Amino acid sequence: MTRIQLRDVAQARSGDKGDLANVALFAPSDALYRAFLREVTPERVREHYGRFVRGNVDRYEVPNVRALNFVLHQALDGGAARSLRSDPLGKSYGSLILRMEIDVSDEELAGVDTGRRPPVA
Amino acid sequence: MRSLRIGAGQGFYGDSVDGALDVARGGEVSYICFDALAELTMAILQKDRFRDPAAGYARDLPAFMTALLPECRARGIRLITNAGGINPAGAAAAVRSVARTLGMDDLRIGVVVGDDITSRIDELRAAGAALANMDTGEDVSAIRDRIVFGVAYLGCAPVVQALQMGADVVVTGRVADASLFVAPMVHELGWSLDDWDRLAAGAVLGHLMECSAQSTGGNFSGDWWNVPDLDRAGYPVCEVRQDGTALLTKPAGTGGRVCFDTVKEQLLYEVLDPRSYFNPDVVADFTSVQLRDAGPDVVEVSGVRGRERTDSLKTILGYLDGYAGTCAIGYSWPDAVAKARRSAALIERMTERAGLRPLDRVVELIGVDSTHGSAAPIPDDANEVVLRVCARFATEGEAKRFTRIATPLGLNGPPFIGGGVAPQSARALLGVWPSLLPRSLVEPSVEVLVEEAAAV
């Protein structure tokens, strides 16, 4: 098994709906989609988001785009127009999930480019 | 097979008109749809209407129309916008004024009203609508005396009606984002309003287009650094066929990228249960959507299935929920985090001594934990940190006093301040209360009016 950070392999986008936020996590391959299903549980996501999420976390499977969609309840400090936070819409929640580390097998990681980085300058 | 080309012109209130101009000039479209509204936007427009009863629509609508009408009139492109906000009649009057200035007296302008339920709350409750919070189940009596606006999300039908009545421009209030795009599909392709699979296909396309460049390379979390020319991002254009399948692309010569990886991110943006995407026109199953790269900057969208729409319309009520005051101070290396934390503790004591009583507060170290909270490691040698403390108060006066509470720390606090942030004025906070309302209590009140610019 290898420990990877989701930012090395995954895409993500978050959005707001009242005091709910959604975080969609996209796998680059079928094998990693199955690994995400095993590793990125709603319980782990709930813990990972810490104080930001006061309610439950639901997880939905979207295999047609190899995605897991997480719905975070009571996650936006009452909603965008009510929030005291500097990110009232939870725009950065998508990046927060990419910080999570998971264990994957070499077979699951096969053929996936994990080294893509932007140029510094 | 018949097909129709539709473009997106706006993704939010404050968007640039350049994307819409590129769509008008190079998108070869018959319609451009503009989504100017979001929950936060409704709250902003309500604050405008507080100050001026003639306001309450997107203030940049006249500028959009001034730039676009000459381009679109010449090409026969019809425009559909929900920039009417909470005052669509006022917005339509503003469009008529622009049209007359441009010498387009015969421009036909449609307006959709009836989504505003602000003055009907008690009547609706008396008629049996609970208006309970659909997320928490709370009873609406908890906020009744603080409600400042209420709107129901309308579907495509009144917009279709305006198009049938010959409108060149349709101005609405809270028509659902995707339904703005579904309307011309229904009108031109002859879809029936109970053809659930086609309506679901339209809702998916509308959803993919309503946030402008978010499906064409903007906010892309993949190799964003390779996406070309986002200074002139191409806004989405779709060619939808009679059977509901479609090609999603962008105008030639524009920046951005349209591919499986950019489009899929937008597919799930602001989506809850993907099997049941509730729209006023249909319940769409987003797990049925097939996205396929079909050429450079072209993605085919197909396979969409839908189910019968529900008997309810989503409603949001905005209610006053106190006032926020913010103060912020930047600290430089060394020990920037420690200084910011000490400063936060000092602010707390100064707040207490001033007799201010925050209802709640958020303390953020910008540069350290404001976006990732406890998941982010605390750097032990940060070069700089901005401390931001935002507190909520029952009264505006307290919030205003709080914005100045940290000022003495410029001389009296920990050393080496920098990266200072100008004091922000206190602001009213609006809670958003989502609920469901029977269609039968809303739709009979919806009215569509189409008139030439010179009329009235």
The verdict on a CB contact (< 8 Å) between A81 and B374 is no
Same domain for B195 and B279, yes or no, is yes
- Judging contacts by C-beta atoms under 8 Å, the chain B residues touching residue A118 are 223-225
Residue B444 domain-assigned? no
Rg (CA), chain B: 24
Last residue of a domain, one of B275, B310, B345: B310
Optimal mutation site among A7, A64, A77, A101, interface B, most CBs of chain B within 10 A: A64
Nearest residue of A to residue B43, measured between CA atoms? A81
The verdict on a CB contact (< 8 Å) between A17 and B43 is no
pLDDT of residue B1: 86
The answer to whether A48 faces chain B, any CB pair under 8 Å, is yes
Contact B384, B418 (CB under 8 A): yes
pLDDT of residue B40: 83
pLDDT of residue A80: 92
Question: What distance in Å separates residue A27's CA from the closest CA in chain B?
Answer: 10
Same domain for B168 and B34, yes or no, is yes
Rg (CA), chain A: 15
Distance between CA atoms of residues B308 and B294, nearest Å: 30
Residue B282 domain-assigned? yes
B282: three-class secondary structure by DSSP: strand
Q: Which residues contact A85 (CB under 8 A, 6 or more apart)?
A: A76, A77, B362, B364, B370, B390
- Judging contacts by C-beta atoms under 8 Å, the chain B residues touching residue A57 are none
Residue B371 domain-assigned? yes
Strand-pair partners of B328: B388
Specify burial of residue B348 (Cβ count, 10 A radius: 0-12, 13-18, 19+). Answer: middle
Distance between CA atoms of residues B195 and B200, nearest Å: 9
Same domain for B288 and B402, yes or no, is no
Same domain for B290 and B368, yes or no, is no
Residue B101 domain-assigned? yes
> From its phi and psi, is residue B286 left (phi > 0), alpha (psi between -120 and 50) or beta?
alpha
Same domain for B104 and B240, yes or no, is yes
Q: Which residues contact B15 (CB under 8 A, 6 or more apart)?
A: B36, B212
The verdict on a CB contact (< 8 Å) between B370 and A89 is no
Same domain for B82 and B45, yes or no, is yes
* Residue numbers of chain B with a pLDDT score lower than 70: 419-422, 456
Same domain for B306 and B360, yes or no, is no
List pLDDT tens digits, range B60-83: 999 999 999 999 999 999 999 999
| Mean per-residue pLDDT of chain B | 96
The verdict on a CB contact (< 8 Å) between A69 and B274 is yes
The verdict on a CB contact (< 8 Å) between A67 and B268 is yes
Instruction: Give the structural domain span for B423.
Output: 321-431
B residues 197-256 lying closer than 8 A (beta carbon) to A = 219-225
Specify burial of residue A95 (Cβ count, 10 A radius: 0-12, 13-18, 19+). Answer: middle
The verdict on a CB contact (< 8 Å) between B391 and A71 is no
Distance between CA atoms of residues B456 and B453, nearest Å: 8
Same domain for B294 and B191, yes or no, is yes
Kindly give the interhelix angle for B196-209 and B260-267, rounded to the nearest 10 degrees: 110
The answer to whether A16 faces chain B, any CB pair under 8 Å, is yes
pLDDT of residue B455: 83
Specify burial of residue B253 (Cβ count, 10 A radius: 0-12, 13-18, 19+). Answer: exposed
CATH number at residue B365: 3.30.70
Distance between CA atoms of residues B443 and B306, nearest Å: 22
DSSP label at residue A77: T
Residue B245 domain-assigned? yes
Exposure string for B297-306, b = 16+ CB within 10 A, e = fewer = bebbbbbbbb
Contact A21, A85 (CB under 8 A): no
Optimal mutation site among A19, A36, A73, A82, interface B, most CBs of chain B within 10 A: A82
Same domain for B333 and B401, yes or no, is yes
Kindly give the interhelix angle for B177-189 and B157-164, rounded to the nearest 10 degrees: 40
SS (H, E, C) B45-71: HHHHHHHCCCCCCCCCHHHHHHHHHHH
Residue A119, both tokens: 């140029």
pLDDT of residue B421: 64
Residue B147 domain-assigned? no
B198: three-class secondary structure by DSSP: helix
Residue B437 domain-assigned? no
Question: What ipTM, to 2 d.p.?
Answer: 0.98
Same domain for B91 and B232, yes or no, is yes
DSSP label at residue B309: P
Last residue of a domain, one of B254, B281, B310: B310
Residue B231, both tokens: 């200074």
DSSP string, B339-363: HHHHHHHHHHHHHHHTT---SEEEE
Last residue of a domain, one of B286, B310, B334: B310
Same domain for B355 and B386, yes or no, is yes
Question: What distance in Å separates residue B337's CA from the closest CA in chain A?
Answer: 18
Residue B436 domain-assigned? no
- Judging contacts by C-beta atoms under 8 Å, the chain A residues touching residue B391 are 84
pTM, entire model: 0.97
Distance between CA atoms of residues B208 and B269, nearest Å: 9
pLDDT in tens, chain A (121 residues): 999 999 999 999 999 999 999 999 999 999 999 999 999 999 999 999 999 999 999 999 999 999 999 999 999 999 999 999 999 999 999 999 999 999 999 999 999 999 889 998 7
Strand-pair partners of B306: B284
Domain count, chain B: 2
Contact B365, A81 (CB under 8 A): no
pLDDT of residue B456: 63
Q: Which residues contact A100 (CB under 8 A, 6 or more apart)?
A: A5, A6, A40, A44, A45, A48, B375
pLDDT of residue B438: 97
Same domain for B158 and B305, yes or no, is yes
